[in-house]
Chains A and B, each alone.
Chain A
Amino acid sequence: MKIKTKLILNMVIGAVAIWSIVITSIFSMNFIKGKLSYLTQKSTPYQMRTVEFQKELQSAITDLIKVNSARDLKEFETFKAEAEKSLLSFKASQQSLEEMSDSKLGAEEELSGIASELFIAANERIASEKSAAEAAAKIAQQMKESSVRLKELDKRIRLLQTGRNKNFAAALKDTGDYSSKLRNVEELRNLIKDLQLIFVTVQNAQKTTAVLIAKGKVNSVLDRIDKNSFRNQNPAIANDTKLVSGKLTELIKLQSAALSAKDDAEAKNKVIEAGKELSEKLNGLNLALDQEAILASEKVGLETQKQGSSFGQSTAANTILLDNSELVALGLMVEGQTNRLFTLNAAADIDKLDPEIKGLFTRISSARIA
């Protein structure tokens, strides 16, 4: 072997040895560095930072949960400020830990992103709830005012209806009174006509039996005249009927006497004279009763018309009362359904209620038109 070759070989071996040392050194250094890093992480300050970091994280999460549970805007703002403060502390804690561990954790960025989304969602929820509460309060107030107005209207219409009913009842009574009067006048008129007929029968009687029968009929008619309430309430008519009754009884006696004493001219003349007088009285009484019947008939006609008008008004008042009662009932139903609307949780339930409320408003429109 040549010296040159030996030198080259030595150089190669030397180089290999050097490189082996270098490589081994690098690996060793890295191994030591790893061990040192592990030891650093396991050291007390690092552990303390880690615990602190975890505490800050928990605090931030707790504050964020509080933000989510805020009931109004004021609470939201307060809780949000607290959460933001917690997030800053958490950020600082993370930075401190990162510096110590020389590594990027990224937890704060992620949590901040979540927090931002939470702030927006919570804010929208509170704003929505506030609007709903305001709407509910406004509707409740309006419904309350409407109910009060409807009840007041109902009260006034009831008074109106009561008044109209009283008028109708009075008109009905008046009509009944006048109808009764007319009926009594007509009855009396018929009885007087019966007397007129009997009077003619007596005047023309040829037998005592006929006079006797006529007398019996007169007694029956006079009994009915005595019971006639129009006659009893009208002194002039009562006096006239009494007079006619007396004259007719006298005529019957005279005719009986005339029939018993045949061919007695004087007796017959007495019958004729009594008959003339009675005829005049009966005609006068008939005329008076005709007048009374016309007046009573006119009065009945007027009262019937008045009664019809009162009945119409009473019916109208009743109809209005019924419609208004329906409005009151529908108003209360809308109030109930509206209140229900703000207690529902699911949108589907609200959708179900929507047609019911719309149906109520349709009925209210119909009732208002009526």
Chain B
Amino acid sequence: MIVIVHKSNPIAKLNKEQLTGIFTGKYSNWKEVGGSDAPILIVWGGLTQGTNSMFVKNIMDGAKPTTEVIGVSTAEDIRQNVSVNPEAIGFGPQAILNDTVRSPETPEVARSITLITKGAPSAKVQKLIDFIKSEGKNFIKE
């Protein structure tokens, strides 16, 4: 999971408390968390519920998020909205990050990957599982 801001946003680091303050609406200006004097605009994905609940549980310690947000649907929408609004902040799965946005340093939040097969895996699926367990581990951060 990753937090993203606009490319022009100079904020370098955000801790749990700051992130909680931002996403609960306690902080409404970037200068309150060490950034420039600009209002904070939160982008919240409606269809990224798994990521949202993990963020609320692990970063916000269960605090209630603010409703004064730009409500969007998918992780891609989150990225697009953050990329065009200098005051914006959002979070989503690791894959959300690309060169249109940037990610400040934040506490790491990860979730385990669960693989479930319906019955015994086929030869091809078994090959994938074997890859994930061996060479694929190099691409997974534990």
Contacts and interface: CB of A to CB of B under 8 A. Distances in A.
B81 A216 contact: yes
B69 to A, nearest CB: 7
A216 B28 contact: no
A212 B69 contact: no
Interface in A209-228: 209-210, 212-213, 215-217, 219-220, 222-224
Interface string A224-267: 10000000000000000000000000000000000000000000
Contact of A213 (B41, B80, B83): B41
Interface residues on B, range: 10 to 19
B2 to A, nearest CB: 20
Contacts of B88: 216
A216 B68 contact: no
B84 interface: yes
A222 B83 CA distance: 12
Q: Chain A interface secondary structure, helix, strand, loop or mixed?
A: helix
B43 A216 contact: yes
Interface residues of A, number: 13
Nearest to B39: A212
A212 B80 contact: no
A24 to B, nearest CB: 124
Interface string A201-215: 000000011101101
Given A216-B87, A216-B88, A220-B70, 7 more contacts: A212-B39, A219-B81, A219-B84, A220-B72, A220-B84, A220-B85, A223-B83
Interface of A: 208-210, 212-213, 215-217, 219-220, 222-224
List 7 tightest A-B contacts by C-beta distance, closest first: A223-B84, A219-B84, A216-B85, A220-B81, A216-B41, A216-B70, A219-B85
13 contacts: A209-B28, A212-B41, A212-B87, A213-B70, A216-B41, A216-B70, A216-B87, A216-B88, A219-B84, A219-B85, A220-B80, A220-B81, A223-B84
